[in-house]
Amino acid sequence: MIDLSSLTHIAFDADDTLWGHEHVFVDAKKRCLELLSPYMKPGMDLEQELYAFERKNLKIFGYGVKGFTLSMIETAVELSGGKIPGSAIQQIIDLGKEMLTHDIELLPGVREALTALKPHFKLLLITKGELFAQESKIARSGLAAEFDIIEIVSEKDPVTYQNLLDRHGIDPAGFLMLGNSLRSDVLPIVEIGGRAAHLPYEYTWHHEAVNEEEAAAGYWRPEGGLGELVQAVLKGL
C-alpha cells in the first residue's frame, strides 16, 4: 500500500473503471465471427485476421467503435474474397451502432465511492477515446455532475497527463489516479510524480500478499478493489 495522505485531486479512468466496456468489444467480436463464419474458407483464423486489420488501421482510425466497425467490415470483405453479402455488411454496421448506444452499467461501488470522496477532493474523469462517443457515454452514465473536471484525451502517456495537470494547476504530489490499465492509468502517473491505484476490471488475480515489485513501482492494487481504496483514502484525510 502507498501513502494516501495529502491528496487534493482524485481522478478516475472511465471505461472498465467506472463502467464495463471491454465486454462490449468482446461480445461484438464474438457476434461478428458468428456472422462471418459461413463465408470463410476452412482453416482461416478469423479472430487473428480481425486483429491484424485493427492493428493496421489504428494509426489511421485511432481508438474507438467506428474504426473498429470499419475494420470488421474490411475483414469481412477480405476473408470472404469479396463475396460477403450486403445484408451481412449491414449487420456489422448495426453491431457498431449497438456498441455506440448500449446501456452504461456502472461497476459495483462506483456511485458510493464518488459520493464518499466528493466532499473531500476535487474529482476528475480522464478517459481516452473518441470525443463524441465518450461524451455520449458520460452523459448516459448519469455521472457527469459528480466530477469537477472531465477530460477526454487521445493518448494516455506521461506528456498528456503532465499537460493536463499543468493546464488545471494541479500539483502531481496531491494527485491520485484510479484505473484498470497499468499501462494507461497507473505507470504514466507514477512517472510524473503522482500516485496511482490499479483496479483491474476482472478480479482474476490471486489473492496474495502485495508483490514487492508493485510496491517498489509506487502504486497500489487494493485487494478489496474500489471499496477498500475509498476507505484507505478517507483514513488519510
Residues in the site for a second copy, rule: CB under 8 A?
A: 57, 60-64, 66-67, 69-70, 73-74, 76-78, 80-87, 89-90, 93, 96-97, 100-101, 129-133, 135-136, 152-154
CB of 207 to a second copy, least distance (A): 38
CB contact at 8 A, 52 and 78: no
Would you say 61 or 201 has its CB closer to a second copy?
61
H or E element at residue 200: none
Nearest to 14 by CA among 189, 145, 219, 151: 151
Would you say 6 or 101 has its CB closer to a second copy?
101
DSSP one-letter string for 4-38 = --S--EEEE--BTTTB--HHHHHHHHHHHHHHHGG
CB of 195 to a second copy, least distance (A): 25
| Cα–Cα separations (whole angstroms), residue 168 to 36, 147, 172 | 48, 14, 11
| Burial group, residue 5, by CB count within 10 angstroms (0-12, 13-18, 19+) | exposed
φ/ψ (deg, to 5) at 40 = -95, 150
CB of 76 to a second copy, least distance (A): 8
Would you say 82 or 119 has its CB closer to a second copy?
82
Would you say 99 or 226 has its CB closer to a second copy?
99
CB of 25 to a second copy, least distance (A): 16
CB of 92 to a second copy, least distance (A): 9
Would you say 6 or 90 has its CB closer to a second copy?
90
Instruction: Report the alpha-carbon angle 186-192-193, nearest 5.
Output: 90
Within 10 Å of residue 126's Cβ, how many Cβ atoms?
Answer: 25
